[in-house]
Structure 1
């Protein structure tokens, strides 16, 4: 029998993104809205994947807008599709982005609106009801969800929206090459914000000197430039020159993250995009859950077949790793 070469799981995830072409056909004209202007490289990876998806499929981006410079009253041709940046800010944890999302859906009832793959989380039933009341009035609204819990919530509460499961847009970047060999054993890349879960404490408490997050990956001058870019977009809304400058600078920020990850044999991370970046680089990694199960939900649905990816849980102060294609191991920290 002929030897049939098995497709890599990361290639499968990249190919799955092609299903988005059902609602954003090749050569469409789009407005790309809510692209990130901050130092969270996870969102920057999503943006780079999104831009690569547009380029690979001859999708014409007429204009780009961040949360700082979009005017929800602007006149947009009816045949142009409004494409909103994906990520993990759908819900009531990140109010600025959710407010923009709801204003766009409310103010453009006759346009096709596509929300690229998102994780959905609400703390407040009232906030959920507000979104439901706005979204369910729209007749051509398409939502892509990164995990089953988000998909179920949208399916239950948003009957007029077209909901589909889809991996993160950063998978369009597969594979990410890098130079050199690792010179260090392990990087703890742990989130230090409202989504930090109890499970990462066993790692962080023992390895503080070797722990990073997106905001500590960059120095104060690099973060200052990010703040300057955001302020400039507020003052000069829609400036093509500033937008171009940000796209070039964000390339630098992403490349710095790739160079840092390349130095380590293994990445332990509670950042979903620490995990995804490691997978894109084919680098061994251990994913630790966040506060509400976003990371484990993503792993179980999409990346569990990637043989460099492992899911962690804490048992008696140790990290127990559930590996792929190798014997289970327990790593004490």
Structure 2
């Protein structure tokens, strides 16, 4: 049921010519854990203003489309009542990837655990995640709960997350990069970097920011402006995102999750086009956001990374981007 509203962002374009690693091919490992001859039910897709999550969702849509999956149902939040009972008996439950596996964003954790408890006999896959827990007790409770499900695979997107999962012998897991790499050679890249005039400083303003980051980017002058996803979005965006979330509740009650998805995917494309234009205009990107860095690489810009406060940028760089000619990281 994946719609075609995303195609305007990923149809044939001017390809990125980066000499960096081709990580898209690593995502083919998902074909071994998500059967293509069974329907997919997709949970927890983003209807909010974190554009990195929207980019992951676009890439996941593209992965399903390119590999011929049938996505039977999609939910942006926890389904309830009769529409939750209409999950096909042979479906694979697939949960959105990102950096929310752990106790930093408890709403996403509650949704995953609730759906796995409701459908304990279904095959389930959690798409590539960075995993972080604030305490050992929180880690042990969460991972012990995941270990109860015999046909669950958790995808780790860095070596630290992989090693954590490996320490629990009952949890099926594999390590693959972020889903965003599915968009390699799909988004338009400005190949002639001399046509770009400005550096882009794209720095977190949320609870994952590192308070010492300013020292890591001495290139940022007093006249330079810092961007984050919040600055990219307008007050009108916030209003429409709220309206889409409200609309989803009513459409889900009417068993119209496909209509909810199609309606939102059009607005998602508008936000992503705006982000794309911002990154296309940069001759160099300085960022402590993982998807700030990945967006830059997708559009052909070199990137300098600094870590966030839980280390996931450094973990990802060490696992997948070390040696990439267009990526450096500041300690």
Q: Does the 8 A contact of 1:73 with 1:107 survive in 2?
A: no
| 1:212 CA drift (Å) | 0.5
Relative to the length of structure 1, the TM-score reads 0.86
Structure 2 residue aligned with 1:232: 247
Alignment-derived partner of residue 282 in structure 1 = 300
- The answer to whether the aligner puts 1:135 opposite 2:146 as a matched pair is yes
Partner of 1:63: 73
- Contact preservation (8 Å) 2:157, 2:175: yes
> Could you tell me whether the CA contact under 8 Å between 1:188 and 1:207 is conserved in 2?
no
Contact 1:17 1:169 in 2 (8 A): yes
What corresponds to 1:121 in structure 2? 132
How far apart are 1:232 and its partner, in Å? 1.8
Contact 2:97 2:179 in 1 (8 A): yes
1:164 to 171, 174, 199: 174
Distance, in Å, in 1 between the alignment partners of 2:312 and 2:283 is: 25
The question of whether the paired residues in 1 share the 8 Å contact of 2:73 and 2:87 is answered with no
User: Which residue of structure 1 aligns with residue 14 of structure 2?
Assistant: none
User: Separation in 2 of the partners of 1:62 and 1:260?
Assistant: 34
Partners of 2:223 and 2:171 in 1: CA distance: 44
In the alignment, which residue of structure 1 is the partner of 2:52?
A: 42
Which residue is 2:203 aligned to? 190
Check the 8 A contact 1:105/1:134 in 2, yes or no: no
Deviation string 1:175-217 (CA, Å, 9 cap, x unpaired) is: 2214696443211100101100134223498557511101111
* Aligned counterpart, 1:324: none
- C-alpha contact 1:188 1:268 (8 A) present in aligned 2: yes
Cα RMSD over matched residues? Answer: 2.2
Q: Which residue of 2 aligns with 1:153?
A: 164
* TM value normalised by structure 2: 0.86
- Give the direction of change, closer, same or farther, for the CA distance of 1:21–1:208 in structure 2 (3 Å limit): farther
Q: Deviations over 1:244-286 (max 9, x none)?
A: 1111110111111010111111110111000011111121111
Aligned residue runs from structure 1 range 1-333, under 5 A? 8-10=19-21, 12-67=22-77, 69=79, 73-156=84-167, 158-175=168-185, 176-178=187-189, 182-202=195-215, 203=217, 206-207=221-222, 209-237=224-252, 238-239=255-256, 240-313=258-331
**Alignment check: 8 A CA contact 1:67 1:96 kept:** no
Classify the secondary structure of the residue corresponding to 1:98. helix
Q: Residue 190 of structure 1 contacts residue 211 of structure 1 at CA under 8 Å; is this kept in 2?
A: yes
Q: Which has the higher contact order (CA 8 A, sep 6+)?
A: 2
Greater Cα offset, 21-30 or 45-54 = 21-30
Q: Does the C-alpha gap of structure 1 residues 68 and 82 become closer, same or farther in structure 2, counting only changes over 3 Å?
A: closer
The answer on whether the counterparts of 1:279 and 1:306 sit within 8 Å (CA) in structure 2 is no
Shift of 1:223: 2.2
Give structure 2 stretches of 5+ with no counterpart. Answer: 1-17
CA distance in 2: counterparts of 1:32 and 1:9, whole angstroms = 31
